[in-house]
Structure 1
Amino acid sequence: MDSDGEMFRARVRSLLAENLPAGWSGIGALSDREQEEFRTRWRRLLHENGLLAVGWPIEYGGSGLSPREQLILAEECTTAGVPQGGLNDNFGVQMLGSTLLRWGTEEQRRYYLPRILSQQDIWCQGFSEPEAGSDLAGIRTRAELVEGRWMINGQKIWTSYGHLATHIFVLCRTDSSVPPHRGISLLLCALDQPGIDLRPLRTLTGEAEFNEVFFTDAECPADAVVGPVDGGWPVAMSLLGFERGEAVATLAIRFRKDWERLHRIAVDPEGPTDPVIVERLGRSRQRVEELRCLGLRAVDSWVAGRDIGAESSLHKLFWSEWIQETTELALDVLGMDAVTAGSDGLRGVSFPAAEAGTPNTAGTWADYFLRARAATIYAGSSEIQRNIIAERMLGLPREPR
């Protein structure tokens, strides 16, 4: 690590030590209300110290630091069990902000980026549709340019934290006469207008952090397009790459904490443990290390300024299947305790791993197991990820249609 990187790491650690209470174990130990209050205070602290968008250029409100510092911040916050911003900052700062820096016009950057940091605009993502989830080329939401404004009609689904947002970046079909990967545009749209109906979707755990969004002649300005009109496919792929960027460095840290929690309930310190359970624990631990090594390789590419590209599909496939295998093991260990667990589920938001400090109870593991059922579907299904790996990494031919 270079001296600048070590100095930055020391700065972050100093901020953590000065602002976290004694005995802090992680945000997962707080109640839902306490988590919300903590996230608000912590986001403000990061913003005041120039740590909310460290990779953005200074002229847009960032700190102008390198990907190395971005990863250091992510590692230290993850290890300490604190968030790197608000619930929607993954969409606003990490995804849209980074995409505007690559594809946006100068006017768009100067208008939108400060508003993202100040939370004047809070963003959510409008990509998946009922018949086009992982296959984004199959979207049918349409946008037409009418008298200088885009008119949007269609439906989006699985819109995370849409109920907390003021704006949505929405992938639309703007030309139906060309092949599916063409004729797509990324539009920026305000949610507070008569043409948008946002409805909550309640999940298996009883929560409603997802939404479906219906557009009926919803409007946005003609210049609210990121990148070229009808050329939004590479823009969308860039945005999805930013979505997974820092996760390659931090998920192994979070999963190691999950594994340690599981180890404490699975292994009897006073007697023998079922050898099958021991073998499955070992396999789970091995896969955490495999994920860490994959992350390190991807980090090298990121720091060198190269896109992670198709390798992010390998990473996503690994972690989504790890969650399912490990939570299944936890329920096998807990047995009837998991079936009869009370209401002490995972607190707050735990995408995709449990938050640091989460109580190690049957209820939290049962809740984690239920949430893990969708891990191989959301953010790109395992089937789609395997196709990407086969075609783009291994060079195998596409399956004929």
Structure 2
Amino acid sequence: MTGDPQAQTEVLLRRALAPLLQETQEVPNTIVQGAVRQGRRRRRFRRAGIALVPLAAAVAVAVTVVSIRFSATSPDGPPTDTPRTKGWQTVAESPLSPRGNPTLVQVGEDVVVLGGSETDPCPPTAFCALDPDDLADGAVYDPDRDVWRSITPAPIRLTNISTASSGNSVYVLTHPLSGSGPKQQLWEYSLTEDRWTQMPAPPQPMDSLVSAGTDHLVAYVTAHTKTWTADQSYDIASRTWRSVPRDPLAPSEDRNLIATESGDLVVIAVDRHTQRGKPTWSPWRTAQWNAVTKTWKEVPTPDIVDSGPTWMWVAGRVVNPTTQTIDLGKRLVGTGGIFDPADETWQPVPSAPVGPEGVLPNLDSAGSGRVFVNDQILDVRSGTWTQAPRPPTRFPTQDAAAIIVNDRLIVFGGATFEGSRGTLTNDTWVLPLLATTASPP
């Protein structure tokens, strides 16, 4: 047998140890690869390294297999729900340096971490005017295997960007800078080729980028100011842009454009205010774009008003999870809602139990049918809230990034503080959402 020694070791271990698991197929990757890593740590001599890896790996796997069989078959064995499946936990060390405000993007089952800044963090109660020390590097994290790998640095600084993913690629839209700065750019990073490629930029500056179906991106502006600006659709295969027809809400402000897996679009926005004396609260309006008929349709929207956080796409619905209500004198009005584009229906956000506030930094995120906001987790399908556990003392208090992938809330980077002195971190924290406890009514 020739080739990579680690690959040889894994093949031999699978063949030798499958009977111990009473299986005829294969030993799980996590067992074999973990054992190989343990075998490597047991090496003592450079020349004998390759010979010692299989031996140490075999011992490690044997112990692991026996432990698994014992815990699975013996009622007196250790519990199968180990501490690693509950609460916040740090995972494998990242190859990236400590940083604040990185960007996290899901690609398949992986999380791509891009850029951020190494600038000293600003205390939460202070105003800092610092020269940014922006980064262009990145890495990919596999949550299932708890493995990191570095990627080729980007040709641009990866801060203040908008991202979207399609297939095995991440698309990065730079911020539309004014004055003498560089023009807006669009870059594609291919995970399979580990390569950055510059793509045609939108014909006019856009603010944000989203994936629409499997073959398109849509770039849009978050507000129509002096004139109406057409949103832009990008065909990935042909690398061409075209204008999206004007939606029935335009001109509008606080625009949230959400793209579905089918390529349909939903725009939720408020009317643009052209006169002085802007009202305190503005009602949301909704419109849908049908990717098949290529037409817009305004959808009646319940009496809810503009407030944070933003609208998110999760569980086949457009969700603003805020439960705040506003007293307009004659009536109470909500600020959040749940819209189902399939049947054009609205539902209110379920009432959230009162819990501790401000324990976690701003980690608003959505995925796996859930939304995380204000230290709580909303299961969109069941309408139930869950209180996130209190994090450890060294958990970042600001400038961290979060994403939900495969029932895990993953947090990377950020800063911790002792008084006014901040320290950047490159720790990765994971909270298994299935192991959290539902909040009492």
TM-score tier (shorter): under 0.3
* Greater length-normalized contact order (CA 8 Å, ≥ 6 residues apart): 1
Higher strand share: 2
Larger Rg: 2
Kindly indicate which of the two structures has a greater share of residues assigned to helix. Answer: 1
TM-score (norm 2): 0.22
